[in-house]
Amino acid sequence: MTAHFGGRGFPRETYAMPDLIQPLAVSIEQACQCLGVGETTLRALLDNGRLPFSRVPGANPEGRGRVLIKVSDLNALLDATRVDVKCARPRRKAGRKAARS
């Protein structure tokens, strides 16, 4: 995307603007959307240590703070739990076996 600045204080030139800024970390809700899992499943991964997280202090000094999960840790979880399929056989239709009898 290209932005044109002109008028007061800005020379009329073309500056390249980044299309998207990728976040370093996401909230629990955003991580659930990224992984396609529910909040209970994600919190279980956090509680048992399979998914690391950071707790950022909030405005309330007595509060526990906001949980943030690094995007790279989400990618690492997906890489660690990846299942490689060697040879996939086509599945039979359910009614096919019954039709032969």
What is the pLDDT tens value at each position of the chain, 101 positions in all? 444 444 455 555 555 556 678 889 999 999 999 999 999 999 999 999 999 999 998 877 888 889 999 999 999 999 999 988 876 666 677 665 555 55
Answer whether 0.85 is exceeded by the pTM: no
Token pair belonging to 98: 């019954």
Report which secondary-structure segment, H or E, holds 33.
helix 28-35
Token pair belonging to 75: 């990618």
2 contacts 14 by C-beta, under 8 angstroms: yes
Instruction: Name the one residue in this structure whose structure tokens are 């932005």.
Output: 3
95 contacts 74 by C-beta, under 8 angstroms: no
- How is the beta sheet containing 54-56 ordered, strand by strand? 25-26, 66-70, 54-56
| Residues 6 or more apart whose Cβ sits within 8 Å of residue 76 | none
The predicted pLDDT at position 2 comes to 44
